[in-house]
Amino acid sequence: MADTQHTQDGRHPGGETHQVAGDGRPPLTTQQGVVVADDQNTLRIGARGPAALEDFHFREKIFHFDHERIPERVVHARGFGVHGYFENYEPLGDITIADPFQQAGQRTPLFIRFSTVAGNKGSPDLARDVRGFAVKMYTRQGNWDLVGNNMPVFFIQDAIKFPDLVHAAKEEPDTGFPQAQTAHDNFWDFASLMPESTNMLLWIMSDRAIPRSFRFMEGFGVHTFRLVNAEGRSTYVKFHWKPKQGMQSVVWNEALKINGADPDFHRRDLWDAINKGDFPEWELGMQLFDDDFADRFDFDVLDATKFIPEELVPVRRVGRMVLDQTVDNFFAETEQVAFCTQNVIPGIDFTNDPLLQGRNFSYLDTQLKRLGSPNFTQLPVNAPRCPMAHFQQDGHMATANPRGRANYEPNSWPPEQGGPREDPQHGYTSYPAVEEGEKRRVRSERFADHYSQARQFWVSQAPIEQRHIVDAFVFELSKCDRPDIRERIVSVLRNVDESLAAQVGDGLGLAAMPAPAVTARQPITDLPPSPALSIVGNGPSDFAGRKLGVMVTDGSDAGILSAIQDACDAQGVTVELVAPHITGVTLSDGNLVAADQKVDGGPSVLYDAVVLLGASDALSELPAARDFLTDAYAHNKFVGWVPSAEVLLEATNLKARLDDGFVLIAGAGDVDTFLTRCAKLRFWDRQLPAA
Which amino acids are annotated catalytic? 76, 149
Contacts of range 620-623, beta carbons closer than 8 Å, 24 or more positions apart:
620/647, 620/648, 620/650, 620/651, 621/651, 622/580
| 515 C-beta neighbours (distance < 10 Å), count | 9
Distance CA 334, CA 134 (A): 11
3-state secondary structure 127-159: CCCCEEEEEEEEECCEEEEEEEECCCCCCCCCH
Distance CA 399, CA 406 (A): 18
Q: How far is CA 295 from the centre of its chain?
A: 34
Report phi then psi at 190, rounded to 5: -60, -50
Q: What is the DSSP string of 526-580?
A: -PPP-GGG-SGGG--SS-TT-EEEEE--TT--HHHHHHHHHHHHHHT-EEEEEES
Helices and strands: H and E segment counts in the chain: 19, 18
DSSP 401: P
| 288 C-beta neighbours (distance < 10 Å), count | 19
Report phi then psi at 111, rounded to 5: -130, 135
Give SS3 for 492: helix
11: Cβ contacts below 8 Å, ≥ 6 apart: 17
Dihedral sign for Cα atoms in the order 368, 372, 375, 377: negative
Closest-CA residue to 194 (of 447, 505, 467, 511) = 447
Distance CA 146, CA 163 (A): 22
Buried b (16+ CB within 10 A) or exposed e, 144-175: bbbbbbbbbbbbbbbbebbeebeebbbbeeee
Q: Which amino acid is at 11?
A: R
Q: How far is CA 156 from the centre of its chain?
A: 20
Distance CA 2, CA 300 (A): 79
* Burial label, 601 (beta-carbon count in 10 A; 0-12, 13-18, 19+): middle
Q: Are the C-beta atoms of residues 614 and 640 closer than 8 Å to each other?
A: no
Paired residues of 588 in beta bridges: none
Helix 252-261 and helix 265-275, axial crossing angle in degrees, nearest 10? 80
Distance CA 49, CA 405 (A): 55
Report phi then psi at 159, rounded to 5: -65, -15
Closest-CA residue to 406 (of 396, 397, 414, 398) = 414
